Amino acid sequence: MRAEERSGWLLATPYSAFLAVFALYPIAFAVVLVFLQWDLVTPPSFAGLDNVRRLAGDGRFWQAVANMVVFLSIHIPLQIVTALALAMALNRPLVLRAFWRAAFFLPVVISGAVVAILWSTLYATDVGLINHLLVRMGLRPVPWLTDPVTAMPAIAVMVTWKNVGFYIIIYLAGLQYIPRSCQEAIEMEGATTWQRFRHLTLPSLLPQTLLVVTLSTINGFQLFIEPYVMTGGGPLRRTNSLVLYLYTNAFSYQKMGYAATIGVALALMIGAVVALQRRLIGTADAQ
Amino acid sequence: MKALGRVALYLALTLAALTFIYPFLWMASTTLKPPFEVGTLTLVPDQMTLDNYRTMWARAPFGRALLNSALVATTITAAVLVFGSITAYAMARLRFRGRPALNAATMAVLLVPGQLTLIPLYTLIVQLGWIDTYAALIVPYLFNATAILMLRQFFLQIPQSLIDSARMDGMGELRILFTIFWPLSRPVLAIVAIFTFMGSWNEVLWPLLVVREQHLMTLPQLLTVFALGGGAGSIGVSLASAMVLVVPVVIAYAFLQRHFIESMAGSGIKG
Amino acid sequence: MPSVTFDHVYKRFGDTRVVEDFDLTVTDGELLVLVGGSGSGKSTILRMLAGLELVTSGTIRIDHRDVTALPSRERDVAMVFQDYALYPHMTVRENLSLGLRLRKVPRPEIDRRVEWAGSMLGLAPLLDRKPKQLSGGQRQRVAMGRAIVREPLVFLFDEPLSNLDAGLRAQMRIEIGALQRRLKTTTIYVTHDQVEAMTLGDRIVVLADGRIQQVGQPIELYRAPVNRFVAGFIGTPRMNFVEGHLGGDLGAATFIAEGARVKLTRAFPLAPESSAVVTLGVRPEDLRLSPADSSERPASSTLLGRVVLVERLGGTSHVHLDVGAHRLMASVSDSALPQVGDHVAVGVPSERVYLFAADGRALR
């Protein structure tokens, strides 16, 4: 036992040291930073609750929060509906099933930066593909990324598109678990296709739906490269995400204390929202 | 009319799949088009040209960025696999007093959103003088909590008898890990390798924070800076730079898509 | 009058023939059992009736109405599945009432029926529980309750007792039988267990390789099996089979096998040609054992055997014997059991003997 204990400690030490330096210290220091003013050039100075007070009254911060609300309220329902619909379409013996699945999952593996650049051009008002199609259909082109009203929704649709493959996999796994005999039973009881979906499929997928909601929320709060590349946070700061605002404060304004404060607020927000979601959607019972 | 339903289904699926694949095809073909053809729907350019690529290559050090990304991603992946396995082995099969605490700490770390630790990590890098160094890009990623937990989970299932007989033969712990556990762990090692590599290859926020020098930038970072900074000058050129990042991934994905899906879906990590 | 008619029904999966020429009428209120081994087609037939499988050719009628092309939900049949198929996220009450709720039956009627089914099956205290909180037997009852509540034309049971332990199975068998007799609904019951078939069925259909082997009341199948398969399938323990040929003359034919000669009192239509291979069948419970040296000869033919194994089951015991080159089993009462190694006289009553031709047909 002594030898094993020694080996264990030995092998685990590098990781423990790493955790201490790169995980525990930053978490602790993040909280400390909230109370400091620091531009990285001059030594940090104690600022008391200045950062917190500033955050409370910071219009741009609250605009970013509002932007996140807009984003999530479009992204989450859209994500659920498209992922579920495509998963149900794929959940049957199909020719080339692996091909469809690979096609939908492709954007997931592509870098967010690339997707952002690509969709910038797709959304471009004059030369963009989307407006091109709209004009072809006889409709008017929309200034997707330059109109304050459409910009964030446009980004939300793009992020949904990028990630749907991932959530299809989650829903597909859940669909496999619905026993075939239950599906047959409910059909014999007189259920139409819609009734079968509503009374059996959907309730059975509650754990997966909760997972989709939670993960898209966390992912949504991490929104950065998309607004960074596509809109720079505009127009009128309507696509400024919280992480983007945090980055700007750190990198452009050199305000470490304030940026850290935004970070802490963001972390608390994520925690609160996720906890609320679990409460509302219910504890996901695995069957 | 079940047959009709099936036809409709395939039609809908084709349409949907098209919306996922077509943009990339369009992107690829646009990079081969001269400026006046950009913005058209046609996939095959009337006048194919490699000008966009030549311009892109001349204007910014993409070759260097490619090498940087490859270096960083490979180093990180190798480190995560090796160090992660060592740590996971200790946590799974060796009993030592700090083990439960380490376990709890690892899982707790996964719960903390990255945004919280972003700034402190940045300040740490600054204080260490690591701005504009490979160290800044690599060191914070040498250990990956998700990978460790995954490997640990897998290592827990390997029968104790293998370890016992190896110890009786006089093998040391590391020997046991690499000669016995590793060959048995190919599937999970592949999964970890893929999501670690992909995560690093696509990572852009961290490099944007800690690297300023162009010749040290990673590919997605250079691509972003290039596209935003106006260095591209035209859509064709910025998309060409995007292609450099995408093509290796698509090729790998075409051959290994089942592994990609298994890896990235199973680890909960998105690109 | 809800009877069920299968009119020359065939089922093929690709090139495999699963059900061949299933032609049968189930009378109103009857409990018909489909019994056979795996691959016999019994479940497929049930599922075709349920509407869960398409019929390759032939028609199925319920109550003179051709349902062959109708989807399940329009057939007014209810099924109890082998794994119960309870909806895991619903309470027992919701499970029972779903079918009625889907059909927009008025609430008071739903409540009345749920209570009625609940009390009949002892489910009243369980109504607000979820399936995962119930035992296997309770879940099975809920599955039955769900079928009853709909008051369908036909009940279908797909091996409902397979997942229960032996004791529970025996008890549920009795309950199902009582329930069906009380409700008088036409019922088709699939099982691989011939004991279930014998105790529950008003009539039994024995299936093998997708074909009907025999249809009849349990006692008919026991006493007068039409072929070797049915003879070996029905009756526990299994009938003894010995292969040999016929000898002697027409009036007093003898069955001859290595080390065994059995006098046959009935006239069999097969002329005693020494070359035709026949199989003799005799049930273990019809063999009479007596000590080899005693002068008693309780049966018309006696064979000499040596005891190889005695399985004591309590009231009865199974005695395994070597008779010549054949292994037979006798089922005897507990008193006066021989020991292993004893030589015994095995009495074979000729009136209880069965003869099967080479193709399996029973010879009468």
Domain boundaries, chain C: 4-229, 240-363
The three-state secondary structure class of C306 is strand
CA–CA dist B64, B58 (Å, integer):
12
Q: Write out residues 77-96 of A within 8 Å (CB-CB) of B.
A: 86, 89-90, 94-95
Q: Is residue B179 part of a domain?
A: yes
Residue pair A4/B96 in contact (Cβ under 8 Å)? The answer is yes
Question: Residues near C347 by Cβ (< 8 Å), separated by ≥ 6?
Answer: C287, C288, C289, C290, C297, C298, C299, C300, C301, C302
Single out the residue of C150, C129, C14, C140 nearest to residue C73, CA to CA: C150
Taking an 8 Å cut-off on Cβ atoms, the answer to whether C82 and A206 are in contact is no
More confident call, A274 vs A80: A80
> Which helix or strand (DSSP H or E) is residue A272 part of?
helix A256-281
The pLDDT value given to residue B271 = 44
User: Is any Cβ of chain A less than 8 angstroms from the Cβ of B89?
Assistant: yes
CB contact under 8 Å between A103 and B21, yes or no, is yes
Q: What is the pLDDT of residue C361?
A: 85
Angstrom CA distances, C228 to C222, C243, C280, C322, stand at 12, 12, 10, 22
Nearest-Cα residue of chain B relative to residue A82: B16
pLDDT at site A285? 44
**How far apart, in Å, are the Cα atoms of A235 and each of A59, A61, A232?**
15, 15, 8
Helix, strand, coil percent values for chain C (each to nearest 5): 30, 35, 35
Q: Which residues of A touch B10 (CB under 8 A)?
A: 94-95
Tokens standing for residue A177 = 């678990």
Other chains touching B, judged by 3 or more CB pairs under 8 Å: A
Interface of B with A in 42-81 (CB under 8 A): none
Strands C326-333 and C316-323, bridge-based pairing:
antiparallel
With cut-offs at 50, 70 and 90, classify the pLDDT of residue A58: very high
Confidence grade of residue A286 (pLDDT, cut at 50, 70, 90): very low
Q: Do A218 and B113 touch (CB under 8 A)?
A: yes
Q: Are A274 and A218 in contact (CB under 8 A)?
A: yes
Report d(CA A271, CA B242) in Å as an integer.
35
The span from the CA of B48 to the CA of B37, in Å, is: 10
Question: Does residue B25 belong to any structural domain of this protein?
Answer: no
pTM across the whole model: 0.84
Task: State which residue of chain A sits closest to C98, comparing Cα positions.
Answer: A189
- Helices and strands counted in chain B (H then E): 14, 0
Query: Would you call B23 an interface residue with chain A, using a CB distance cutoff of 8 Å?
Result: yes
Count of Cβ atoms closer than 10 Å to residue B2 Cβ: 7
**What's at B213, amino acid-wise?**
E
pLDDT at A158 over 80: yes
First-to-final CA distance of chain B: 41
Compute CA distances B96 → A4, A11, B99, B165, B172, whole Å.
7, 10, 6, 21, 16
Q: Is A188 on the interface with C (CB under 8 A)?
A: yes
pLDDT for residue B50 is more than 90:
no
Eight-class DSSP state of A207: H
- What is the percentage of chain A residues whose pLDDT exceeds 90? 57
CB pairs under 8 A between A and C: 65
Rounded CA gap, B205 and B203, in Å?
6
- Nearest CA to CA, how far is C159 from chain A (Å)? 13
> Left (φ > 0), alpha (ψ -120 to 50) or beta: where does C264 sit?
beta
- Across residues A249-276, what is the average pLDDT? 91
Structure tokens at A257: 């204390």
CATH number of the domain that B122 lies in? 1.10.3720.10
The pLDDT tens digits for B86-132 are 999 999 988 888 889 999 999 888 888 888 899 999 999 999 999 99
Superfamily of domain C4-229: P-loop containing nucleotide triphosphate hydrolases (3.40.50.300)
Tokens of A181: 């005999």
* pLDDT in the model for residue C249: 58
| pLDDT tens sequence across B249-264 | 999 998 888 888 888 7
Interchain pair B115, A15: CB under 8 A: no
CATH number for domain C240-363, candidates 1.10.101.10, 3.40.190.80, 3.10.20.600, 2.40.50.100: 2.40.50.100
User: Cβ contact (<8 Å) for B126 and A247?
Assistant: no
CATH class of A61-281: mainly alpha
Is the CB of residue B233 less than 8 Å away from at least one CB of chain A?
A: no
- Structural domains in chain B (count): 1
Chain center to CA of B165: 38
Residue indicated by tokens 């304050």: A148
B218 vs B117: CA distance, rounded Å: 22
C132 touches chain A (CB under 8 A): yes
A210 to chain B, any CB pair closer than 8 A? The answer is no
Partner-chain contact C83 A181, CB within 8 Å: yes
**Positive or negative: CA dihedral C216, C222, C227, C230:** positive
C45/C290 Cα distance (integer angstroms) = 47
Answer whether residue B72 shows pLDDT above 90.
yes
- Residue that the structure tokens 């609250």 belong to: A62
**Residue type present at position A286:** A
How does DSSP classify residue A21? I
A268-278 average pLDDT score = 90
Q: How many C-beta atoms lie closer than 10 Å to residue B65's C-beta?
A: 26
DSSP state of B89: H
Q: Which residues of C40-61 are buried (b: 16+ CB within 10 A; e: fewer)?
A: bbbbbbbbbbbbbbebeebebe
Assess A284–C contact: CB distance below 8 Å, yes or no.
no
Neighbors of chain A with 3 or more C-beta pairs under 8 Å: B, C
Neighbours of A48 (CB within 10 A): 10
From first CA to last CA, the distance across chain A in angstroms is 40
CA distance A165 to B142: 29
- Any chain A CB within 8 A of the CB of B138? no
Average pLDDT, chain A: 90
pLDDT tens by residue, A90-120: 988 888 888 888 899 999 999 999 999 999 9
The listed range with the strongest mean pLDDT (A67-76, B28-37, B87-96, B216-225) is: A67-76
Q: Which helix (H) or strand (E) segment is B226 a member of?
A: helix B219-228
Number of residues in chain A: 287
pLDDT averaged over chain B?
87
Chain B residues with CB-CB distance to A100 below 8 A: 13, 17
C227: which DSSP letter? B
Tokens for A61, please give them.
């911060």
Q: What are the phi and psi torsion angles at A141 (to 5°)?
A: -65, 145
Distance CA A144, CA B181 (A): 53
Q: Sign of dihedral through CA atoms C288, C292, C298, C300?
A: positive
Distance from CA of C35 to the nearest CA of A (A): 21
Q: Report if residue B127 sits inside a domain.
A: yes
Residue with tokens 């531009």: A39
- According to DSSP, the residues that pair with C77 across neighbouring strands are C154
Residue B171 within any structural domain of the chain: yes
User: What's the rounded Cα separation, in Å, for the pair C246 and B183?
Assistant: 67
Q: Which range of residues forms the domain containing residue B99?
A: 62-211+256-267
Inter-chain CB proximity B202 and A15 less than 8 Å = no
What does each of the 364 residues of chain C score in pLDDT, given as a tens digit? 569 999 999 999 988 899 999 999 999 999 999 999 988 999 999 999 999 999 999 999 998 899 999 998 889 999 999 999 999 999 999 999 999 999 899 999 999 999 999 999 999 999 999 999 999 889 999 999 999 999 999 999 999 998 888 889 999 999 999 999 999 999 999 999 989 999 999 999 999 999 999 999 999 999 999 999 999 999 889 999 988 877 765 555 677 777 677 777 665 665 555 567 888 889 999 888 888 776 666 666 778 888 999 998 888 899 999 888 888 999 988 777 888 888 888 888 878 888 888 888 887 6
Is A185 in CB contact (< 8 Å) with chain C? Answer: yes
Of C50, C83, C88, Cβ closest to residue A188: C50
- Edge to edge, the sheet with strand C354-356 lists C260-263, C254-257, C240-247, C277-282, C354-356, C362-363
Q: Is C9 left (phi over 0), alpha (psi -120 to 50) or beta?
A: beta
